[in-house]
Amino acid sequence: MNAVHIRLATPADVDAIAPLFDTYRQFYEQAPDRAGARAFIAQRLEREESVVLLALDASGAAIGFCQLYPAFCSVEAAPIYTLYDLFVEPGARKTGAGRKLLLAAEATARAHGKVRMDLTTAHTNTAAQSLYESLGWMLDTVFRAYTRRIAD
């Protein structure tokens, strides 16, 4: 297995994260938009609106990332993280990068006093589902998720 290092991203990492984020968005059927991806990630990091963990290979090249958004659970009356984005370059899959990103996200959540993390993924993303379940993530069978589009 290749050496994979996980670290907290800073605004200086935007150019390394942007192509990964753009490819991640394309996986979810969005049009390529490297400039938009860069601007979005830059804003989140500069405004400290999210926490981004960056996976680096042995040469120091960015091969994946995980983005966490702070939120609250009203029922538990406690802070949580929403793990919204997790992506590893196709050529770097099977290196343990995804697993290491998830474990680092859990450690980060614990260090920041979060009581839990939530995530959603596509029904068809069975590879990710297998990884999540292998790390103890539980499929929610109690609540149903809904969404409502506000703007086009």
Per-residue pLDDT tens for 39-94? 999 999 999 999 999 999 999 999 999 999 999 999 999 999 999 999 999 999 99
Per-residue pLDDT tens for 81-134? 999 999 999 999 999 999 999 999 999 999 999 999 999 998 999 999 999 999
The mean pLDDT value for 13-25 works out to: 97
Q: What is the pLDDT of residue 152?
A: 80
Task: Measure CA of the first residue to CA of the last residue in the chain; give whole Å.
Answer: 44
Domain range annotation of the chain:
5-134
- Provide the strand spans (E) within the chain: 5-8, 51-56, 62-73, 78-88, 117-118
CA distance 147 to 139: 18
Whether residue 1 has pLDDT greater than 60: no
CATH for the stretch 5-134: 3.40.630.30
Q: What is the pLDDT of residue 123?
A: 92
Residue at token pair 């993530």: 137
Confidence class for position 2, pLDDT limits 50, 70, 90: low
